[in-house]
Amino acid sequence: MADNKVRRLPIVENGKLVGIVSLNDVLEAKPSAASSLSVWELNYLVANLKIKDIMCANVFSISPDATVGEAAKMMLEKKFSGIPVTENDKLIGIITESDIFRMLAGS
């Protein structure tokens, strides 16, 4: 995720948005740096984590017909840096803080 500069990944099952995984979710799922496990054991544990075990299933989303102001307000209220955009429970995009800043900056 970090290599691709992605901070969140929506999880879709049968076309329906069922969850979201953030970079923080992944980092929090890693064992503590004080762990006595070897590097190989740590890598094995992380590689075998199931998305369903670390994703947030209570996903807030926004309609494509919502305004940028409504999206910004939701981000501020929920303390999210991005929100999935859904239509009829289907993921059609993501709006992020960066998208809003780029729009305001005119780039």
* Domains assigned to the chain: 8-105 (3.10.580.10)
Q: What is the pLDDT of residues 78-107, one digit of tens each?
A: 999 999 999 998 999 999 999 999 999 986
CA distance between the termini of the chain: 25
Q: What is the pTM of this model?
A: 0.76
Stronger pLDDT, 38 or 10, i.e. the higher one: 10
Compute the average pLDDT of residues 38-61: 83
CA-to-CA distance for 79 and 8, rounded, in angstroms? 14
Q: Is the pLDDT of residue 42 over 80?
A: no
Give pLDDT, residue 17: 93
